[in-house]
Amino acid sequence: MNKKKLYNRLIIVTSIAIPVVVAILFRVRIPNVEPLDQLPPIYSAINALTAVFLIIALIAIKQGKRKLHESLMKINILFSLAFLVMYIAYHMTSDPTPYGMVDGVFVASQTSKTIYLVILISHIILSIVLIPLVLLAYSKTVLVDFIAHKKIARIAFPIWLYVTVTGVVVYLMIAPYYT
């Protein structure tokens, strides 16, 4: 099997496995473990840093600074992995936080809840779509197919930027309701 076929198979398996594993682990609660309440602001900051590094990486490649672009994109992939691990760890140790609820009373406006849900749902869907795009773009660089990489990156970049920015927005909207 050639490298391209191998990478494509790995991308398919990984792109399916990550959302399935996250969905399963999202429902698992580790008993008798202190909630990891410190993680949401940390993984939100990682999202913000990823957004900044994505923009700097775009500027770098447009200026012909390929090594800088490559380094920043590898850091962004590591940031995304760190985010995912912390996100899962937090949700495995903490009960869900309903938007707008304080001591069992809904205190937010219905409009703000609708906005929150639209942002959250689009964030989740696009984060799932993003997985194969990032992996495919990265594999094209490993295979030294920069024309294909550029075509995929033009699709992946705005989605990745949206996912990172909305991750911060979702955190800022839900943070007042953490208990």
Per the structure block, which two tokens stand in for 98?
């309903």
94 vs 175: CA distance, rounded Å: 14
Residue 131, pLDDT score: 98
Q: Collapse the DSSP code of 179 into the 3-class scheme (helix H, G, I; strand E, B; otherwise coil) and give the result.
A: coil
Asked if 119 and 169 touch (Cβ cutoff 8 Å), the reply is yes
As a whole number of angstroms, the distance between CA 57 and CA 169 comes to 22
Question: How many CB atoms within 10 Å of residue 38?
Answer: 9
The pLDDT of residue 2? 92
pLDDT, one tens digit per residue, over 21-69 is 999 998 899 988 999 999 999 999 999 999 999 999 999 999 999 999 9
Annotated domain spans of the chain: 3-28+40-177
Beta-ladder partners of 101: 106
Low-confidence ranges of the chain (pLDDT < 70): none
Q: What is the pLDDT of residue 179?
A: 76
Q: What is the pLDDT of residue 32?
A: 87
